Amino acid sequence: MQIARPDSAVEKILPGVADFLDSQLTMVIGDQKVAGESGQTFPVFNPATGQKLADVPSGTAQDVDKAVTAAQAALNGEWSNMLPADRQRMMLKLADLIEANGEELAQLETLNNGKSVMMSRLIEVGASADYIRYMAGWATKIEGSTIDVSIPVPPGAKYQAYTRKEPVGVVGAITPWNFPLNMAVWKIAPALACGCTVVIKPAEETPLTTIRFVELCLEAGLPAGVVNVITGSGAEAGAALTAHPGVNKLTFTGSTETGKIIGVQAMQDMKRVTLELGGKAPMVMFDDMDMDQLGIAAGIGALFNTGQTCCAGTRIYAQKGIYDKVCDFLGGMVGSLPMGSGLDPVNQINPMVSAKHQNHVKSCIARGVEQGAKPMLNAGDYDGEGFFVKPEIFTDVDQKMSIMQDEVFGPVLTITPFEDPDDAIAMANDTRYGLGASIWTTNLNTMHRYVPQIEAGTVWVNAHNLPDQNMPFGGYKQSGVGREHGRAALDNYLETKSVCIALG
């Protein structure tokens, strides 16, 4: 079948990328590339053109079962006998392989997800390699503690206790489409550092870089079955992975709705679970903010990845003294950002990931207008090829409107004035979400006074949307359960065993 690719793109498609797309794409179970039990496939698209890129296996419950069995065998085999230093060495090699294949991975991600190839290089490749190296360091630093105990029986007895940290077991990882490779790495790297094995199910929209990554895991020398990938739908492959009795821990990034389904299933089986879910992040801008930072607030805080990030600071609250200036600046800037294929690094507004998501964002904009918010840019519909949405900024927005309460996950902002800072914080917290937030001020007292009052897992000050591998990341309220990154992430992949020894 003819596969359409954007020939007109500024960056030429590398031969390795074209070859990968022309090959028969497979899942990886153990050390085998497999087409899956059903023999069925599903298409994945290039969001910049709307055309098909490749066909990918539709994984079934049977495939999931095989992958979990492979992961269990690996857990009890060679992998468990490896020294932490061996795991570390392999992870470092994996990071090197990601960089060595970086240009291909970056283009593949941009073709499949639509994002700017600059972002693919920086985040999907660069930050992923860094993340693996960071977690590789932890592989050799996992430790328990010695514990003094006061057990009084039998009289005169003495005990010594200590804790061991042991791998939780087989990890079922389910990832979203907005940062496909990076999210896979956020889950797989700490799992490997802790000695776990993994079955990953990438989002149906964007499975390509995860398939390639798992192939690289084998190249890096990870034993068969340590990392397996099942492609397929959430309803079938994702649900089968969630419910599989051989999975010990689930880690999920995605929508709050799906997170709740996975959380309920996890509790039924008492699987360990971490959920990183939706957001509706506020950016609270005080009169004394450095106005030169507005460009950063808009470009990185709100529109990074064309707004397709769970921390996107799309609810802007601007104090009365700067409100007009904020509206003028953002209106001018956002309305003039170049829009187009991510393969042209000049473009800062790239497509939505899918036709379905494009329709979702368009319907959020339409509902905003219907409910009486004022579209500052009056951008209107995009009617060319690909899944683009023209950015929009709403003013005159009521807190109760869906544009203020529901996650859009696109280039759509609201700007709301406030006079009293306490009102701004109340509005910022008036959401079921609590993932990220920021305050913008040059006054230290303002910062220290309001940071503790914000209900969010991460609060940036004069910055927004910048995670770090060493900084715990996760949500308050309906934005999730647990934390990723840093030392905190390791506990998600470890069980604590207490050992109590009666001394003779």
What sign has the CA pseudo-torsion 34, 40, 42, 43?
A: positive
- Is residue 203 within the footprint of ligand ADP (CB under 6 A)? yes
- Is residue 279 within the footprint of ligand ADP (CB under 6 A)? no
What sign has the CA pseudo-torsion 407, 409, 412, 415?
A: positive
- Is residue 355 within the footprint of ligand ADP (CB under 6 A)? no
The single residue of 194, 217, 310, 311 carrying the catalytic annotation is 310
Q: Using CB under 6 A, pick the residue from 176, 225, 307, 411 that binds ligand ADP.
A: 176
Cis ω before 223 (30° cut-off from 0)? no
The interface region with ligand ADP, picked from 123-131, 238-246, 436-444, 493-501 by CB under 6 A, is: 238-246
Q: Using CB under 6 A, pick the residue from 262, 297, 302, 412 that binds ligand ADP.
A: 262
- Is residue 352 within the footprint of ligand ADP (CB under 6 A)? no
- Is residue 238 within the footprint of ligand ADP (CB under 6 A)? yes
Closest contact distance (angstroms) between CB of 339 and ligand ADP is 22
- Contact in structure between 241 and 64 (CB atoms under 8 Å): yes
The single residue of 276, 392, 407, 484 carrying the catalytic annotation is 276
- Is residue 175 within the footprint of ligand ADP (CB under 6 A)? yes
Nearer to ligand ADP, 13 or 261 (CB): 261
- Is residue 204 within the footprint of ligand ADP (CB under 6 A)? yes
- Is residue 201 within the footprint of ligand ADP (CB under 6 A)? yes
Q: Is 310 noted as a catalytic residue in this protein?
A: yes
Q: Is 455 noted as a catalytic residue in this protein?
A: no
User: Cα dist. 261→233, 339, 400 in Å?
Assistant: 15, 36, 26
- Is residue 254 within the footprint of ligand ADP (CB under 6 A)? yes
- Contact in structure between 333 and 300 (CB atoms under 8 Å): no
The interface region with ligand ADP, picked from 25-33, 187-195, 198-206, 326-334 by CB under 6 A, is: 198-206
Residue nearest to ligand ADP (CB): 234
DSSP letter string over 242-302? HH-TT--EEEEES-HHHHHHHHHHHHHHT-EEEEE-----EEEE-TTS-GGGHHHIIIIII
CA separation for the pair 442, 467 (Å, rounded): 22
CA-wise closest residue to 315 among 330, 328, 305, 335: 330
Closest contact distance (angstroms) between CB of 178 and ligand ADP is 8
**CB-based contacts of 187, cutoff 8 Å, min separation 6:** 171, 173, 175, 198, 200, 251, 253, 484
- Contact in structure between 188 and 227 (CB atoms under 8 Å): yes
- Is residue 117 within the footprint of ligand ADP (CB under 6 A)? no
**Residue 122: how many other CB atoms lie within 10 Å:** 13
Measured N-to-C along each axis, helices 128-139 and 84-100 cross at an angle, to the nearest 10 degrees, of 170
- Phi/psi region, residue 85 (left: phi>0; alpha: psi -120 to 50; beta: rest), is alpha
Nearer to ligand ADP, 336 or 363 (CB): 363
- Contact in structure between 422 and 402 (CB atoms under 8 Å): no
The interface region with ligand ADP, picked from 236-244, 378-386, 422-430, 490-498 by CB under 6 A, is: 236-244
- Is residue 239 within the footprint of ligand ADP (CB under 6 A)? yes
How many CA atoms, within 13 angstroms, populate the side-chain half-sphere of residue 314?
34
Nearer to ligand ADP, 224 or 230 (CB): 230
Q: Are strands 494-503 and 158-167 parallel, antiparallel or unpaired?
A: antiparallel
Closest contact distance (angstroms) between CB of 203 and ligand ADP is 4
Closest contact distance (angstroms) between CB of 207 and ligand ADP is 9
Closest contact distance (angstroms) between CB of 152 and ligand ADP is 49
- Is residue 435 within the footprint of ligand ADP (CB under 6 A)? no
The mark string for 457-496 relative to ligand ADP (x by CB under 6 A, - otherwise) is ----------------------------------------
**What amino acid positions are annotated as catalytic residues?**
276, 310
Query: What residue ranges bind ligand ADP (CB under 6 A)?
Result: 174-176, 201, 203-204, 233-235, 238-239, 242, 254-255, 258, 261-262
